Amino acid sequence: MSSIEQYAFPKGLQLLQRWQAGNSEAQEEMRDFFDAAIDGKFDENFRLLAPTNRIHSTASVHMLGLGLLHDLYGIETHEYYHADAYRYVRTNLAVSRLLGISKFYMTWAVYAWTCEPLGQTMMYPDKFPPGSDPEKPLIDKANWRKLGTPDFTTGVPAAIDRILSATQELTGIAPLLQLSAPYSLAADIYGQEPILADVVNEPETVNALLDHLGDVVLGPWMDHFFERFPEGWVELSDASGSPFFIGPNNCENMSIRSIRHTLRDKPYANRVFDNNYRGDFVAEVKAKNRSSRRRGATKNENSIPNRSKLLELTDAKVSVNPVFIMRLEADNVDVSFYEAQAIERNMPLTVGIGSPELDRNSIEDLEATKQKTKEMAQRHVAAIKNVCETVDLPEDNHVGQSWPSHIYFEDINALSQFELVEIILNEINSCPQLGEKDEEVT
């Protein structure tokens, strides 16, 4: 029988590398590992938290879990997400341990699972996460006001509740509900292109639609969640409503405004956050010479052009995420800006590693990419350590909270280059304990 301790970092990652390479012995070993995990043999280990005196890592791994179970057992997408909550949770927890991730973070196909209960036509591929069918939007200009509150006791909401209950039971940590924010939900059920056209031509209609979704779908769903899990958290996701896609002004005045509308007078508002607005670099871009501005990398806070707009956007983002400062890969602004903002606002810092940074199919020169990744990880870890040692932190350093913190792998999947994951985790693990002096980086 497999023992989870024998796959402590980096041995679990090395097994994943052999499995990814198609090694038949690794596949058999991996099957033994997941047989034991799904059978509950590792449950005691899942209650162990990350050390409180170190930089830690979190990761969204549900896509890698799907890839593994499809390869090992032939489990397809719908069955993976819907059929067995304990298998789903144990798989994700075991994958995190294999990778060497120190803090658990339970995720699922958030955009798909927010719109499916409303009646949106879905697509469930064999071994990839589900999504809404863009050819069959649920609502249009004529009928969106008729959209009502879904039943939270059946279907996807019930499946999510089972996953949350299993997560809390197995880890001892208050669960995290993930939902689409109003704009991204609208994009999935109204259509990306139609809503973008309305953003330009009928902004009042867009805001009315977003408020309706907050009032009749997301608000009641969060009410239901906090009745069951009063100590839990809600993470809203709004990639479609990000500055990168609709610009910083529309992000502030539509996407972020609609979240504040949804949370008005909610007693749990301080336990709800949106941490995935991406593309902060667009706030730096002035009207002239746009392309060259986008190409230029920022090196420090003082070199950022149009800094007042970036600060305004940061203020707006903090208004819907008072929990931590997030820097995502797609923000394309130097980590030093977020480091300074976290310290100034006395907030923790989370730094994302984007899936494109790990995509094995896009790597032309692996050795050069490995060196670049190491240097990036060193900068990110140093920034997080500085923030941790400067701001006011609780004694547990947030390791007992279910939201993503410190180094955050935004998506690890079966196409990720695991050697790069190992390099990043090596930098995290080799970082001195909080309060200890760093050795000079060479």
Helix (H) or strand (E) segment spanning residue 272: strand 272-274
Main-chain dihedrals φ then ψ at residue 394, nearest 5 degrees = -70, 165
Looking at residue 300, its pLDDT comes to 43
Catalogue all structural domains in the chain, each as residue range(s) with its CATH number.
Answer: 108-274 (3.20.20.210)
Looking at residue 296, its pLDDT comes to 35
137 three-state secondary structure: coil
Contacts of residue 118, defined as CB under 8 A and 6 or more positions apart, other chains included, come to: 138, 147, 150, 189, 217
Looking at residue 283, its pLDDT comes to 84
| Cβ atoms 101, 49 nearer than 8 A | no
For residue 315 the two structure tokens come to: 């203020």
- Report angle CA 369, 431, 5 to the nearest 5 degrees: 90
Looking at residue 437, its pLDDT comes to 72
**What is the rounded distance in angstroms from the CA atom of residue 327 to the CA atom of residue 348?**
11
Looking at residue 442, its pLDDT comes to 44
Looking at residue 1, its pLDDT comes to 54
Looking at residue 289, its pLDDT comes to 43
Looking at residue 439, its pLDDT comes to 57
50 three-state secondary structure: coil
pTM to 2 decimals?
A: 0.92
Cα 172 to Cα 84, 176, 301, 380, distances in angstroms: 19, 12, 40, 29
**What is the rounded distance in angstroms from the CA atom of residue 259 to the CA atom of residue 322?**
13
Residue reference for tokens 């593994």: 68
417 three-state secondary structure: coil
62 three-state secondary structure: helix
**What is the rounded distance in angstroms from the CA atom of residue 295 to the CA atom of residue 80?**
41
| Cβ atoms 356, 362 nearer than 8 A | yes
Looking at residue 441, its pLDDT comes to 46
Considering Cα of 317, then 320, then 326, then 331, what sign does the dihedral take?
negative
Looking at residue 301, its pLDDT comes to 41
Contacts of residue 94, defined as CB under 8 A and 6 or more positions apart, other chains included, come to: 4, 33, 34, 37, 42
Of 260, 254, 138, which is closest to residue 206 (Cα–Cα)? 254
- Single-letter amino acid, residue 252: E
For residue 367 the two structure tokens come to: 């050795």
Cα 159 to Cα 79, 135, 142, 149, distances in angstroms: 11, 26, 31, 17
Low-confidence ranges of the chain (pLDDT < 70): 1, 286-305, 438-442
Q: Convert 140-176 to b/e letters by CB count within 10 Å (16 or more is b).
A: eeeebeebebbebeeebbebbbbbbbbbbebbebbbb
Looking at residue 291, its pLDDT comes to 40
Of 18, 175, 22, 171, which is closest to residue 98 (Cα–Cα)? 18
| Cβ atoms 49, 397 nearer than 8 A | no
Cis amide prior to 129 (ω within 30 degrees): no
